[in-house]
């Protein structure tokens, strides 16, 4: 057997073997948990639907998984992104945040939608419907301005 065939066979074997090592899915069973941001603040329905449909996949305890999540190493990559997103901001656990952190996260939410760095471009490649529209941006910012929080001025 030639070296090229050995390498190809080895790579194929590794790809098959890694299919058996899957990360845990980010599914708690409840979209709106007891610690959800909506339990802290009154959120207009249109804003809450934007958050759920465009943010919760990476920033909550419930991710909707596409078919390609079942292919390794894609699932590992996606799982790392979801873990990082939840570490940065988890709408499902927002009620557990100290006031200072919650205020800062709301400030960052406004910055993210205003500056367009969320959702990530890599997410939008496949999830075009998650793009934050001008209407979404306006609604989110209007809602945040109604909240009794004090944002740090930079």
- Which pTM was predicted? 0.85
Helical H segments across the chain, by residue range: 3-18, 45-54, 56-59, 74-88, 99-115, 121-124, 134-146
**Number of independent structural domains in the chain:** 1
Tokens of residue 48, six digits: 């809450």
Residue 12 lies in a domain: no
Q: What is the pLDDT along the chain (154 residues), one digit of tens a residue?
A: 899 999 998 998 888 888 888 899 888 877 888 999 999 999 999 999 999 999 999 999 999 888 888 899 999 999 999 999 999 999 999 999 999 999 999 999 999 999 999 999 988 988 899 999 999 999 999 999 998 865 554 4
Q: Are residues 118 and 81 in contact, defined by beta-carbon separation less than 8 angstroms?
A: no
Residue 49 lies in a domain: yes
Residue 17 lies in a domain: no
Residue 7 lies in a domain: no
Residue 58 lies in a domain: yes
Per the structure, the complete domain to which residue 116 belongs is given by: 24-146
Residue 31 lies in a domain: yes
Residue 152 lies in a domain: no
Question: How far is CA 12 from each of CA 19, 73, 75, 76, 112, rounded to the nearest angstrom?
Answer: 11, 13, 18, 18, 41
What is the dihedral sign for C-alpha 49, 128, 116, 76? Answer: positive
Residue 45 lies in a domain: yes
């Amino acid at each position: 057997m030639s070296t090229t065939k050995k390498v190809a066979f080895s790579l194929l074997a590794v790809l098959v073997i890694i299919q058996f090592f899957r990360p845990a899915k980010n599914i708690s069973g409840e979209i709106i948990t007891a610690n959800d941001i909506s339990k802290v603040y009154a959120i207009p329905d249109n804003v809450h639907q934007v958050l759920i449909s465009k943010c919760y996949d990476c920033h909550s305890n419930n991710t909707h998984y596409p078919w390609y999540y079942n292919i390794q190493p894609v699932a590992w990559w996606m799982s790392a992104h979801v873990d990082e997103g939840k570490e940065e901001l988890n709408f499902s656990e927002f009620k557990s945040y100290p006031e200072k952190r919650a205020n800062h996260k709301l400030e960052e939410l406004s910055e993210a939608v205003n500056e367009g760095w969320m959702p990530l471009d890599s997410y939008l490649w496949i999830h075009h419907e998650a793009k934050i529209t001008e209407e979404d941006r306006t609604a989110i910012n209007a809602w945040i301005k109604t909240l009794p929080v004090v944002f740090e001025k930079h």
